[in-house]
Amino acid sequence: MIHSLTDYVRFNNGTEIPGLGLGVFQIPDEDTAEVVKKGIINGYRLIDTAQIYGNEVGTGIGIKEGLAATGLSREELFITSKVWNNHLTYDETINAFEETLERLALDYLDLYLIHWPGKNAYKEAWKALEDLYAAGKIKAIGVSNFEIHHLEDLLSFAKVVPVVNQVELHPKLTQQALRDFCEEHEIKVQAWSPLMQGKILTEPVVKETAEKHQKTPAQIVLRWDIQQDILLVVKSVHEQRMQSNADIFDFELAPAEMARLSNLNEALRSGPDPDVFDF
């Protein structure tokens, strides 16, 4: 379990990732640079973007400005992006990666993910990621939104085991079976939309627990993740909320409180279902 914003977790290939990061989903490109810069200034070391977000240029500018403002080196940041794998060929995946690097104005990525599995549309893309990894252009490779059967298929031919599976995960969608499978295969789980786009924050159990600990509902839910060793990517465009989302290391939820939050599970998604979503 991490104990601060700058604590790292080790992947199965030895690479280390900050346990809590800043996501830039749905932030317009022209606003992203300032958000990323503020995130870095406020202690975030993991920045998570994607090809489909349309804000890799702004993310790259924000990284450059954040480094200049803090005096940090590029190596002290962890940058993730994702390929929008709409049935890409091997060569198309390589090209997509090179375009991502160019937009970000970076020499390498720390982590590159296949964004969605589609209808078993990831075999050539994964081979491309493995070769980019072998060439040293990516420190680690992984997947996003893969279900157990996708992972079983991937592992049947992959030469490199993915380091992470980034999935929708929150108390309404606890993904326990998937998490157990990933743990068995040394694949870390990282939550996107951990606050369920804000919908989880009005749950009575969440609000009651927040009042008891004198914390915000968001801090309670993020703490629930942290205590289960779930990696986090949290989006915020407001500096005060960035700070609040990181203020989750000075209290602990009791086992009974953790169980009450987990019992909210309804297998309820706020995003697409990976088994039917095919771009």
Q: Which residues pair with 231 in a beta bridge?
A: 190
Task: Measure the CA–CA gap between 199 and 178, rounded to whole angstroms.
Answer: 23
Q: Dmax of the chain from CA atoms?
A: 54
Per-residue tokens: 223: 């703490």
> Which of these, 2, 51, 56, lies nearest to 29 by C-alpha position?
56
**Residue bearing tokens 């086992």:** 255
The b/e string for 153-174 (b: 16+ C-beta within 10 A; e otherwise) is bbeeebebbbbbbbbbbbbbbb
- Specify whether the CB–CB gap between 137 and 100 falls below 8 A: no
Task: Measure the CA–CA gap between 231 and 125, rounded to whole angstroms.
Answer: 24
- Specify whether the CB–CB gap between 39 and 245 falls below 8 A: no
**Residue bearing tokens 């942290």:** 226
**Residue bearing tokens 């326990």:** 176
Per-residue tokens: 148: 């157990």
112 annotated active-site: no
Tell me whether residue 27 is exposed, middle or buried, using C-beta atoms within 10 angstroms of its C-beta: 0 to 12, 13 to 18, 19 or more: buried
53, 112, 122, 133: which one is catalytic?
53
> Which of these, 56, 24, 26, 55, lies nearest to 40 by C-alpha position?
24
Size of the chain, expressed as the number of residues it contains: 279
Q: Which residues pair with 192 in a beta bridge?
A: 168
Residues belonging to the active site:
53
